[in-house]
Structures are given as structure tokens and as C-alpha cells.
Structure 1
């Protein structure tokens, strides 16, 4: 939370380093993206002449080289389409560009923390500025004090400055679980557990539809004010979905920790390529942040020491959790499950979560070390 004068210096610093990063990117692109050492030989003197400190100049060069490394990794993975696609050709035909407010890395030589006073001393193009106040929660401050490691990134977003610090938090030692909680992920119900917890997706669906309608309405106007409003709303839906997923993940992990259970999750990688849907349903599927929710559950479970396993989700929605009978007709509709073998009636997602819990226990037992004493 800098005052007016330090804020102006920080804003000027970000714009200066990113303008110079764009220049370094053009040099790298013209020379075939050389290695960092060779790129430094072509650009370091110019960056120093432009007023950057030694560490800041090194970070600008490294930031550019890392951006090209990421680009090439995405090209190899096919994330930018086929070799002849317009998106891929466009990405390969011009240098990587940096936004004026893009992140700039700071190491301990450029940035020092005073945790008790909650201030930082930070390098800028106008000189080093001391006693710049920062705010965070009490828990975040404790994590920052105990586990901060490596660099921190300075960014500006909507006129507010953020320092994103890297903290290396050790994982808790996992305990021996007394059973597993199965988590069935879905769209109508975001998450359903075998213990009875159910996170409905109705509210999130209404929010997405409303945001979609508002964006379409603003995009038709083509006015400056409409574009400004679109920019303001650009990250609102993302933040709302992320917050919802954090709440769901924390609830599931807390329940598992309280009952000394493990967590069994479905392995849903590649679901967007496997599933065939009608056009009206594709927007719903592709805006479904199931991977983000699964990632939140995984990292929160590691921090709490909760055992977690991934299981094959095949036929979990068609299998009866009571008798094990598998039949496509068992799943009557989205919410109703009636077993053709034993006649049990259950909620479809709840039945699936029990199947996932059973598979989780089987995977855990198969992966445990043998308790049989060694042969003398």
C-alpha cells in the first residue's frame, strides 16, 4: 500500500522494465532466441545504460528467456494448435510482447522484508524506496515469515500493487486412513462425497449465464464505455469460480481430516477430448473448472497430511454400490439411480461417490508396503 510518490515510482518502474523486456524480446527473436548467457552478451550493456541496476537487468533478460521457453513448451505440447493453425503461426511469427503492468521478479538484493513493521524496501528506477507498507492476513504473514523462499513478483492490477511471494511450505506427514471419502465431480452438483456433503452447481450456473449475457450485451455496443466495462468485468467470473472451488475443497479436506479418512478423487484428465456433446452443452462443459477444484483438493490435502489417491472413474455412475451390478440402464436420469440387479434406489451422484470411495481404499491397500515380516 504505497503512498502517492512511491506508487508513481513503482508504476514507472514496471513500465520501464517491460518496455525494455519487449526490446530484449525483439533482439532474441532476431537472433533466433539464443541461450540466456548469449542473450545477456547482446543486451546487458544497453539495459544498464537505460538506468537499470545490475540485478534488475539480469531479471529482465531471464524473464524474456523464460517466456520463450514457455512458448516453445506450449508449441511442443500442441497447446497452440496444429502447425498450420492461425493461432500457432501468429505466435511463431512475432516476438513475445510484455504488457506495461506485467510482473517483474525481485530477489533478496532488490527487495527486503520487514515482517514486524509489515513494510518492504524495494528497488525502483528512481532509487530504492524504504518503508513501503504491505497488508495481508495474519495467517499469510505467518506463512510469509516462516516459509518465504526465492523471488517475489511485483505486479499492478487495476491500479493496485501486489507482491506475489513464493513460500516453500513443507507437506505434513500423511496418516494411516480409517477408510476413504469418495468425491464425485459433476456439473449439476459440483462435488458429492460419500459422507453426505453435496455442493450444488445451480448458483454457479446462474452466475455464469448472467455474466455471459452481460458480456454479449456489452460487446454489441462497441462503445468506449462498453469496452471499459468489459475490462472491469473480465476477471469477475474467474474470481467467483475460484473462490467457490476453494470453499468446496476446504470443506472436503476438513471433513477428511476430522474423521481421519483419506480422499479418493476421479482421474478426469482428457475428459474434454473423450466426451461428445451437443453444441448448447459444450459451453457448460468447457467452463467447468473441475481441474482447478481437483488441484485445490490435492494441495490442501498435502498441507493437512490427508492421504489422497486418484482412481479410474470408468463405470462408477453405472455400478451399484450395494451389489456391484453394472448396467447402463441403472442410471435412470441425472439424479436417480435404480439398480437392475438388487433394486436399490439412490441418488446417482451419491452412489457414484461410494463406488469411488471403495476404489480409493482398494488403490491405497494395493500401494501400501507389505506388513509381512522379512524371512530370516
Structure 2
């Protein structure tokens, strides 16, 4: 399994200048390839290489050929994502126009996807352009001034990955500190299979509820978000330069806070599971396209919900304990009784209460959904029809509610 170890470099003044120049030239190459690919509508890596290699070599003669190629590879990846996003946005704009005309509302303004551009693109290294010595805590990097050896330190929480086989690495500067994000290949854990299956219902009101009757998350998290929203609204109404600087600072702080909450939540979910068991989540891909909230707190929460990041954290933490993570189709999990299987929209009396119209079974609505998620996966494994809907096809299933 692959893990990323963030090591802090300790360059001297001369080495720091060489790293800055390497980062600047790598960014120039990256932006040049992006501009050419965007203008020509080209996203094929081989064609981009033949069309831009000699031009970028002339622009940045001090950059070794391997770093030129890595910059082109990163630009190709970005272009593919940008073209996909552009096509998706153009396809959905006509639907938005038709909907606005049907409701007699003003036609929304089309915001085109612009050419990708970076101010400081992280330098990607491979086994040909860098080497790392875990024992001596030194790394040798290719720069515009030739190869240089730099000392580094490893965070205490990443020391268990020392000595693992290295793959690629990204060099970046953050607030004047140089970091190297090294991808290492760690051994897979050897764990005996356990037949326990845990359903987890993720939500906005309660961050996570498991079929083990664990209600995870903290009310304090929602209050922090509300307080920051009120502060952002106040600063946006001012519109001054200092207010905009403060807004940028708050945005970064909120992003770090949400990441920390997702780390805490994913750690608790995995800790409550037995090694070798299975954790089942809802597949919430494209959730925002299928759910429509009125403007207000519900819409704001939905669009700021980092469920994809949370799933990634759960997946990599579970992998270290040999726990499998699966996703199922979320349709009707909140409307179906986990006791008798009766499905009806009015079974959900409120946000917190589920009361079955058929058998009278009553419990917390999120806990009932976690039972249904667990049973849905178990039944799908046995090949039986589940909860009034088709069998889930795992990661490829689309969310709809």
C-alpha cells in the first residue's frame, strides 16, 4: 500500500536559492504546456511532448530533461481534468437555462472554465532525479545548479514508514519552509478475515452513525461553522482590502478545521471496527446534483460537506488494519424500515425520528439508516434483491435521493 511521508528539508541559503529557481522553472514549463494544450484542445501526453519539448527546453535550459518531462506529465493530468470539467459545465448549462426559463427566472450567466495556471507548481521527482537515505536522513535532488544533498527531518507520526521503498516525490514551499512529499510503498497488513459488517450513515446533522449504535461527531463542530459563517458574512459586506485578507485567512483556517474533523471522525469509525471486518458506506457521488435545497443553512451545509475527503481518510486508515471499505447505493435507506422492510416516504417523521407506518417500529432515523446500509450490502453479497431497489454496483453506482 502507498503512503505519503511529508519530510521537512533543511537547506542552507545557497541550496534554498537553487530550490526556488528549480520551482520557478518547473512552473514555467507546466504553464507553457497547459497554455498550448488548452489553445489547441490537446490532452494527449505524447502529442504534447512532441509539440512542446524543445520550446520548454529553450525556455528553461537549466532544468534537466527528466524534470521537463515530469512537468509535462503534470500538465497533461491537469488538462484532462480541465477538459472534463469544461464539457460537463457546458452540458449542464443548457439544462439550467431551460429550467430558469420554465420558472420565469433570469437566465444564469455562463462562467467558462479557464486555462489551468499555477503560481508555484510542486516539482515532481522520480527515482532518476532523487535518492533518499533514511539512515543518514539526507536526500539528493536534481536542481538547476546540479544535484544537491540536503538534510531532512521526519515527523514522529511518520517514523513507522522509515526504510520503506520510495516512489515519486513532490517538492514544495509553504510559508518559507521546504517540504518533500515522498510516496513510499508500505507492506500490507496480514490480518485474519472477520465476518463483521458495519453500516455507517453519514449526514449533515449527525456526522456519522454506525450500526454498532455509535453516534460519532461533536456538536461543537457545527457551532464553529456557524460562527465562522457569521464572521464571513460580516466581512463580505465590508469589501475592504483588509476584510478580503481576513476572508482568505478564514478560508484556509476552515479548510484545516474540516480536515481535522474528518481525521478524527474517520479514526473513530475505524477504531470501533474489528480488524479484518468490513465497513459499508453510502456512495454519495454526484449527491449535490440530485438534491435541491432552498437557499439557506441547508444548502450551505450541503455544498461545504467534504464527504469525499472523509471517505478517503476512512479508506486509508482502514487499509492499515486490514479492514475492507465498500459503498452501496443510498436509495431508500432512510425511508425503509430495518425491522420489516416496509418502504414509505412518511416513515421518516422528522430529522431524528423514524416510525414505521406498517409495523410501528420506532428508533433514531440515522441509526435505522445504518442498519439498512449494513443489510443492503449483506443481501447484495448473497445476490438477493435489496430494499426495493437494484443491487448496488459498488463504486460505480450513482447517488440519488
- TM-score normalised to the size of structure 1? 0.83
Q: State which of 45, 58, 62 in structure 2 corresponds to 1:46.
A: 58
- Which residue is 1:67 aligned to? 78
1:79 deviation in Å? 8.3
Q: CA 1:82–1:141 in structure 2 vs 1: closer, same or farther (change >3 Å)?
A: farther
- Counterpart check, 1:276 vs 2:292: yes
CA distance in 1, matches of 2:164, 2:75: 31
- Counterpart check, 1:167 vs 2:178: no
Q: Following superposition of structure 1 onto structure 2, how do residues 212-227 of structure 1 map, counting pairs within 5 Å?
A: 212-227=229-244
Deviations 1:28-74 (A, max 9, x none): 5566647133124442440453x222323333333333332332233
Aligned residue pair count? 358
- Counterpart check, 1:9 vs 2:8: no
CA distance in 1, matches of 2:89, 2:318: 31
- Which residue is 2:173 aligned to? 156
- Which residue is 2:282 aligned to? 266
- Counterpart check, 1:366 vs 2:386: no
SS at match of 2:323: coil
- Which residue is 1:37 aligned to? 49
Deviations 1:108-145 (A, max 9, x none): 3332212113222223323433133233235x243253
CA distance in 2, matches of 1:25, 1:338: 55
Q: CA 1:292–1:25 in structure 2 vs 1: closer, same or farther (change >3 Å)?
A: closer
- Which residue is 1:21 aligned to? 30
- Which residue is 1:135 aligned to? 154
- Which residue is 2:116 aligned to? 96
- Could you tell me whether the CA contact under 8 Å between 1:148 and 1:167 is conserved in 2? yes
SS at match of 1:329: helix
1:186 deviation in Å? 0.9
Q: CA 1:303–1:56 in structure 2 vs 1: closer, same or farther (change >3 Å)?
A: same
- TM-score normalised to the size of structure 2? 0.78
- Could you tell me whether the CA contact under 8 Å between 2:124 and 2:169 is conserved in 1? yes
CA distance in 1, matches of 2:286, 2:271: 28
Q: List gaps (5 residues or longer) in structure 2.
A: 1-8, 98-108, 385-401
- Could you tell me whether the CA contact under 8 Å between 2:216 and 2:268 is conserved in 1? no
Deviations 1:188-212 (A, max 9, x none): 1010001121123532222222222
